Amino acid sequence: MKIAFFSTKSYDRESFLNHREGFNHEFSFFEVGLDHKTVALAEGHDVICSFVNDPVDEFILKKLAQFGIKLIALRCAGFNQVNLEAAAKHGIRVVRVPAYSPEAVAEHAFAILLTLIRKTHKAFNRVRENNFSLEGLTGLNIHGKTIGVIGTGAIGKAFCRIAKGFGAKILAHDLYPSEEMVALGVTYLPLQKVIEQSQIISLHCPLTPETRHLINSKTLSYMQKGVVLINTSRGALIDTKATIKALKTKKIGFLGIDVYEQEEHIFFKNLSEEILEDEQISRLMTFPNVLITGHQAFLTHEALAQIATTTLENITAFEKGEILQNEVKKV
């Protein structure tokens, strides 16, 4: 099948080309994201492969249907960017990669956490300038702290296992508690109780209408003063305006995010020669206790290999008329 890949970077192209053996597909790689103008590039293809920040709305789906495209293969786990109702109306099926190296994201969450509370990024910059002073670099232990994990799917479970190794007490909230995590020593509580009792909170739940702005002025008010908040899941889980206020009042002691609710206009682009027009992320970057990475938690060789393989398997299953194990539909 002819596949049109949108929002591709060098690592995407390399990974898919390295794993194409055994799959009878043709690739067209486009660096541009999928939008109302670039959707025309999909003409002449059988499938499009889009990424997490490519909005697939009614207009785009109508165009794809006109081109005869019957499948959208998401090379990501999230699918909130796709209008599934419109996809069904236009006879277009949607598949995704539900899990790819959950350890990659969990480990990045801990990398952000450790960097923040031990201030290694600041120490690195100091030493490069021959400044070996330790003033202002006093950090925090993870050992003995209470960590709240919101969402214990594959990534949340991987995060809990790492946290256990650090000697932390782990509280969790999930609609479907995991017996495996309970056996590990994780205690499941209602969301408010987890937020109230945790000194460190890490978000690992999907973005749904119910979880949008899960972290807001109300839930922030329940948190302990100086809480450490980490988000490597979806940007819109956090109300940015409320979070900025909490940083200013020192309710949040440290904030580490790999995702941002308006990231589709910023992330995956080199904007170093431009003026950043997004005032909220610009404000976040002024805080010395905030660390932002550009949606790179998934970016390991192992995860990229799984993404490529699963995506190509999804497309092959569709081509052969087999059951689509990773299909997503409007509930």
CA separation (Å) from 30 to 40, 48, 139?
12, 11, 44
Amino acid at 44: G
Is 331 inside any structural domain? no
Domain check: are 95 and 106 in the same one? no
Q: What is the pLDDT of residue 101?
A: 87
DSSP string, 276-292: ---HHHHHHTT-TTEEE
Domain check: are 64 and 124 in the same one? no
Is 133 inside any structural domain? yes
Q: Answer whether 72's CB lies under 8 Å from 64's CB.
A: yes
- For the chain, the 3-state helix, strand and coil shares in percent, each to the nearest 5, are 40, 15, 45
Q: Domains in the chain: how many in total? A: 2
Q: Answer whether 56's CB lies under 8 Å from 81's CB.
A: yes
Domain check: are 94 and 106 in the same one? no
Range of the domain at 58: 2-100+300-319
Is 189 inside any structural domain? yes
Q: What is the pLDDT of residue 172?
A: 98
Q: What is the pLDDT of residue 162?
A: 98
Domain check: are 9 and 93 in the same one? yes
Domain check: are 90 and 172 in the same one? no
Domain check: are 38 and 151 in the same one? no
Is 83 inside any structural domain? yes
Please write the tens of the pLDDT for every residue from 113-137: 999 999 999 999 999 999 999 999 9
- Whether this prediction's pTM lies above 0.85 is answered by yes
Q: Tell me the average pLDDT of the chain.
A: 96
Strand runs (DSSP E) across 200-275, as ranges?
A: 200-203, 227-231, 252-257
Interior CA angle at 205 toward 328 and 235, to 5°? 95
Tell which residue, 186, 252, 178, 248, has the closest CA to residue 219. Answer: 252
Is 212 inside any structural domain? yes
Please write the tens of the pLDDT for every residue from 175-193: 999 999 999 999 999 999 9
Catalytic residue list: 234, 263, 295
**Interatomic CA distance for residues 257 and 65, integer angstroms:** 37
Is 20 inside any structural domain? yes
Domain check: are 35 and 55 in the same one? yes
Here the CATH number for the domain that contains residue 69 is 3.40.50.720
Is 137 inside any structural domain? yes
**Interatomic CA distance for residues 246 and 253, integer angstroms:** 9
Low pLDDT (below 50) residues in the chain: none
Q: What is the pLDDT of residue 202?
A: 98
**Interatomic CA distance for residues 27 and 109, integer angstroms:** 33
